[in-house]
Amino acid sequence: MGPPQLNIVTGAFGYAGRYIAQRLLERGERVKTLTGHPLRPDPFNGRVLAVPFHFDRPAELTRSLEGASTLYNTYWVRFAYKQTTFDRAIQNTLALFQAARDAGVGRVVHVSITKAREDSPLPYFRGKAILERALRESGLSYAILRPAVLFGHDDILVNNIAWCLRTFPTFVIPGSGNYKVQPIHVEDLAEMAVHSGHERTDSVADAVGPETYSYEKLVRLMAQAIGSKSHIVHVAPALALALAKAIGLIVRDVLLTREEIDGLMAGLLASDGPPTAKTRFTDWLKQNANTLGRRYASELARHYQSG
């Protein structure tokens, strides 16, 4: 019998990638991570080798993938910031796919997003669709998973809704609040990813939980669960964005972008198909109400500080 199979997980010291890596290790498989933060504290006690992304050095990138049976790719950027652009993130991911092909990686599990479309006016969704097509046409064996919004320990977006509900006397909802969101637990996404990694047929699937809410309902459920006294009001999207920017200045982060508000309001964070994951947000919320949103989670601190 040879050594256990080797998997590459991008961002295994980050959020979704950490849960994917954990599951692979529990199966007795080996994990190596490609990351922008190879020196970040290792949650796996040295069991996961961390190698920097070498997006601009194809030979090294290929070498870092050699011997791997499966690549689990979570790499993407939430918004353009300073030198980080969506075009750059697309080029980097294309380089990763090319390197996977050159290294003879047998399978790619790629995390995308619900309702990715190449004709989307939103660069996040457009970029994800461009990459889905590139992977479909790459000749690699693939599974594409399309989550809507993740929730779970160490999340940023859901956590910061709760943080705002705890911190401010008023919570603003852009527009009607009727647009749908369909959150998935990060453990469920990890389970789907690892399951897909061991399949052999090409597939594309939404990764969405069993409950779909209007955004307003989601916010009110959270407010109730954490005991927030915040007054929930509806405002024009431009005012919601201005307030998000003001809060961003206070916390030295980007709380929410214009494109994220547009995507949310367009109902892009829900599936038109059946649920594919089992954990109910309401159950998780009950269990985590005491800790959720106690501290602000900073996107800039997580991704733009070295380590």
Ligand X SMILES: NC(=O)c1ccc[n+]([C@@H]2O[C@H](COP(=O)([O-])OP(=O)(O)OC[C@H]3O[C@@H](n4cnc5c(N)ncnc54)[C@H](OP(=O)(O)O)[C@@H]3O)[C@@H](O)[C@H]2O)c1
Binds ligand X by CB under 6 A, chosen from 68, 99, 111, 219: 111
Q: Does 284 sit near ligand X (CB under 6 A)?
A: no
| Residue 55: CB minimum distance to ligand X, A | 10
| Residue 43: CB minimum distance to ligand X, A | 12
Binds ligand X by CB under 6 A, chosen from 123, 127, 147, 210: 147
| Residue 47: CB minimum distance to ligand X, A | 17
| Residue 168: CB minimum distance to ligand X, A | 22
Binds ligand X by CB under 6 A, chosen from 5, 7, 10, 160: 10
| Residue 17: CB minimum distance to ligand X, A | 5
Structure tokens at 21: 């890596």
Please, which residue, 30 or 78, has the CB nearer to ligand X? 78
CB contact at 8 A, 58 and 98: yes
Which residues in the 15-44 window bind ligand X by CB under 6 A? 15-17, 35-37
| Residue 13: CB minimum distance to ligand X, A | 6
C-alpha–C-alpha distance, residues 35 and 232, integer Å: 39
Q: Does 74 sit near ligand X (CB under 6 A)?
A: yes
What x-and-dash track marks residues 164-203 binding ligand X by CB under 6 A?
----------------------------------------
What residues line the site for ligand X (CB under 6 A)? 10-11, 14-17, 35-37, 74-77, 84, 111, 113, 147, 149-150, 157, 303
